Amino acid sequence: MAQKLTLISHKLCPYVQRAVIALTEKGVPFERIDIDLGNKPDWFLKISPLGKVPVLVVASGDGEVALFESNVICEYIEDTQGGAKLHPQDPLKRAQHRAWMEFGSTILSELWGLETTGDPAIFESKRKAVAAKFAQVEKTLAAGPFFAGKDFSLVDAVFAPIFRYFDVFDQLTDLSVFADTPKVRAWRDALAQRPSVRTAVGPDYPQLLHAFLVRHNAHMLKLAA
């Protein structure tokens, strides 16, 4: 019996976008349910041990199983669904890709501080930390257009939502995060054109992210004033 996949989501969550991109790249039908993380439904808390999105609910004749943690969800999608392969077949290369997926998560941790702090010193510290991490990424990139060359991978699915933040940030101020990383800039441009990346969020994403910055009284907004 075919599985029914339901992705529990939030409109701004970059980790959700990873799963959406992976599912879209493979051409897998799924239902997406957006929730308010500020007012989490009881049914959601029962299936999400960490109270976080994404959660992928896999329903089959044997019942429902809820998977949590974005990289776990992406790996499950890769292991069970047809369509394009999003991991290298070579075990060593696959392990390298998984490591860079984790590296992408560390960038998101720095970005959280960058976008939410109202303190100028913390903001500058986080800006430098993000730039330093992308300088490390620059050293790993080859000809492109994607992380591993011509084939789109789960590493691309991880980094595309990171770059999307800067589409909004760039409208506010020049963070100079990518000033010395031409390969990263080219990679960012290529991912921005990918249909799976473009459709991973709604048209209201920029407005929602701006409202998020306002709620946190973000220092970034003061630079735009």
Residues forming the active site: 13
Counting every residue written for the chain, the total comes to: 225
